[in-house]
Amino acid sequence: VRRPEFMLVPAVGGLGLVACLAYSRILDAFAFGDEAAAALGVNVGRARLALFCLTALLTATIVSMVGSIGFVGLVIPHAARFLVGPLHIRLLPACAIGGAIFMVLADIASRVLVPQQVLPIGVVTALVGVPVFSIILYRFQRPT
């Protein structure tokens, strides 16, 4: 990549992933709720603020470079959790790698599906994401 502003994405993304991994035990504690996390010794307010700032920085950096691409953040974490389990020390890298693989495959599909045209990548992610997310919603539907 020749444009230096695009080097910001891997730098911020890599540092952000390392920071998220540092918070993996706290994220695991939050899975049990705020009270349980506080009982486990987590400063809930400080951890929430730090994680909010971290995710805002990561999201702003990536969206400013590539735009908003739907369904990746909804489908990939569910698939990764299914494959590697709920521990964030394994889940976060699996989401990063799974999201990258999904986006590369979606980019290839956007260039190949319609001859002599390139589909917007959001169309391809929606073609995959809508059915998968519908299945996820159906499977986790609460009985009434």
Helices (H) and strands (E) in the chain, counts: 7, 0
SS3 17: helix
SS3 54: helix
The answer, yes or no, to whether residue 56 has pLDDT greater than 80, is yes
Question: What value does the mean pLDDT take over residues 93-111?
Answer: 95
Question: What value does the mean pLDDT take over residues 64-77?
Answer: 87
Question: What value does the mean pLDDT take over residues 88-100?
Answer: 95
SS3 99: helix
